Amino acid sequence: MDTSFYTSFQPQLTGDGSDTLYSAEYGETFHSTFGAVTETEHVFLSGTGIKQRLAEGQSARVLEVGFGTGLNFWVTAQYSLATGARLEYVALEKYLLPAATLTQLNHDHLPAVAQDIRLAFLDWRSGLPDPLPGSQLHWCYDDSIRLDLVVGDATSVSIPPQDYHAIYQDAFSPGNNPELWTPSFFTRLFEVLTPGGRLATYSVKGEVRRNLAAAGFQVQKQPGPPGKREILTAIKPTPRP
C-alpha cells in the first residue's frame, strides 16, 4: 500500500460541529461540509431504513462502499448497542487510514456510546500494520457488533455475499471516483443486497440514477439533509410470487 497517499488528508470542521477530512488527492471532503454526522444520519441511517430496523431490535447486515474515517460505522453501531440488535458491518476500503490521521478528527459531540466504539477501534487500528490489498480484517465490539474491513479496490475485491439489508454507497463523487458508480459495479452491489433491501447515496446525478436502474434497482429521490435538496434511495425489488 502507498502510505504517502495519507499525507494529503486535512481535518475540516463541518456545519454541525463535527469534523471531516479533506482529501487533496480527490479534491473533496469525506462528508458534507454542511454537517458530517447530520449527513450520515440522514442519508445512510435513515435513507436505508437501518436506523429504524436497529431501533426495533432487528439484527442488520450493512455493506459500506468507502469506510474512510469510520464515521458511518460508529454512528450505525451506537443504534445497535442501544437495543442489543446484532450488527454485521462489512466495509470496502482501498486506503485504510492510519490511527494517527483518525485521532486528529474531533468527534467530541458524538454520543458517548459512539465515542467509546471509536476509541476502541482506534486502539485496535493503532496496533495494526498497514494491511496489504486483498486483506480482510475482523473486529468485534461487545459481542453484538462485528466489523469486516475488506481492503483493496472495491471493483475487484471479493465482496462477502451476505444478503445485506442496506448498502451505504459513500464513494467520492462520480466525477472524481468514477469506477464506483458504473452499471457493472452497481450490478455487483445489487447481487449481494437482499430483496427489499435499500442502497442509499448522496448523489442524485442522472447518470447515477440511470446506472442504478440498469443494474435492476428501483430508484427514488428523497428529501436531503441541510445543504442538499435531494438524495437517492435504490430498492432491490422483491420477486413476484
Q: Which stretch binds ligand SAM (CB under 6 A): 149-157, 193-201, 219-227, 232-240?
A: 149-157
To ligand SAM, the closest distance from the beta carbon of 188 in angstroms equals: 12
Residue 137 has phi, psi (to 5 degrees) of -110, 140
Minimum distance, C-beta of residue 222 to ligand SAM, in the bound complex (Å) = 19
Q: Quick one: 30 or 190, whose CB is closer to ligand SAM?
A: 30
Shortest distance, CB of residue 91 to ligand SAM, whole angstroms?
Answer: 8
Which residues are CB-neighbours of 221 under 8 A, at least 6 positions away? 204, 230, 231, 232
- Report in angstroms how near the CB of residue 185 gets to ligand SAM at its nearest: 9
Q: Does 118 bind ligand SAM (CB under 6 A)?
A: no
Q: Give the interface size with ligand SAM as a residue count (CB under 6 A).
A: 20
Question: Using CB atoms within 10 A of its CB, is residue 35 exposed (0-12), middle (13-18) or buried (19+)?
Answer: buried
CB of 241 to ligand SAM, least distance (A): 37
Q: Which of residues 156-185 bind ligand SAM (CB under 6 A)?
A: 170-172, 177, 179-180
Which residues from 46-105 bind ligand SAM, rule CB under 6 A? 66-69, 71-72, 92-95
Return the number of the residue (92 or 145) whose C-beta is nearest ligand SAM. Answer: 92
Residues within the interface to ligand SAM (CB under 6 A): 30, 66-69, 71-72, 92-95, 153-155, 170-172, 177, 179-180
